[in-house]
Homo-oligomer: A and B are copies of this chain.
Amino acid sequence: MNEPLYEKIYRTIRDEIISGKYRRDSTLPSESALAAIFSTTRVTVRNALTRLSSEGYLYSIAGKGYFIKNKKFNKYLFEFDEKKILNSNIDKSKLISVEIIKPDVELSYNLRLPGNRRIVAIKRILYVSDKKVAYDEKYIPYFSGMPIIESEINVTALHEMVSNKEPLYSMKKKLAINVVKSSEEVMKIFDFNQPQSVFKVEQTILDEDNEPIAWSKLTYLMDYFKIEARLQLNK
């Protein structure tokens, strides 16, 4: 047998769960019971159970046992990169303005800030072979020690701009992608005569307590947008 024992235990229990042997929220045999069943020790059983838990098949409660979780088969993983999400890659970007402003309603809501807080607003246009394809707005509450050097800002991703305030690994990000009619501001940028459907990608960076610490809005022209994703199943 080439297959490690913990792998066999993993497969066996996973297949039992999938085939519906256990009801949802019903409990698995205990670690010691499983160890006896597979003629091994708790450590090896735990190896399999830990993996099943991290993959979303199980959850455990100390002192009680392991319970079956309803695994969803509709979670997809995709990569989002401000530049790579476009069909062709961005080959130029132009900084339009860097200002310190007071929040309007949209900003106040998305950054959960009172009207008197100062916010750094950075606006850029992204180009693909000299054609405007996206409008980038980043909004970050102003704090001292923040770099507002234009040359730096142009190559800095949103999460990097706040990473000296908050360690990278503790940051959370949220994305919302949808289609909206272009605003007055966007119409000016893209030289639209009349409102037009555009992609809006809102990115919110949150700290460990889910408080927003940065917000950005990317407006893409249609026909320059593509996402590819794969189902997240194992690991």
A229 to chain B, nearest CB (A): 4
| A222 beta carbon closer than 8 Å to chain B | yes
- Give the chain B neighbours of A226 by CB distance below 8 A: 176-178
A65 to chain B, nearest CB (A): 20
| A225 beta carbon closer than 8 Å to chain B | yes
- Give the chain B neighbours of A22 by CB distance below 8 A: none
Task: Judge whether A79 and B73 touch: CB under 8 Å.
Answer: no
Contact residues of A with B, CB < 8 Å? 14-15, 18, 43, 54, 72-81, 87, 159, 167-169, 171-179, 197, 222-223, 225-233, 235
Task: Judge whether B79 and A175 touch: CB under 8 Å.
Answer: no
Task: Judge whether A172 and B228 touch: CB under 8 Å.
Answer: no
Q: Please give me the 4 A-B residue pairs with the lowest Cβ-Cβ distance, nearest first.
A: A173-B231, A175-B229, A178-B226, A177-B227
Task: Judge whether A54 and B235 touch: CB under 8 Å.
Answer: yes
Query: Bound complex: CA of A75 vs CA of B223, how far in Å?
Result: 23
From B78, B167, B227, B231, A178 is in contact (CB under 8 Å) with B227
- Give the chain B neighbours of A167 by CB distance below 8 A: 18
- Give the chain B neighbours of A79 by CB distance below 8 A: 72, 74-76
Task: Judge whether B222 and A179 touch: CB under 8 Å.
Answer: yes
From B73, B76, B159, B178, A73 is in contact (CB under 8 Å) with B159
Query: Bound complex: CA of A118 vs CA of B49, how far in Å?
Result: 43
Query: Bound complex: CA of A123 vs CA of B225, how far in Å?
Result: 26
Query: Bound complex: CA of A227 vs CA of B80, how far in Å?
Result: 12
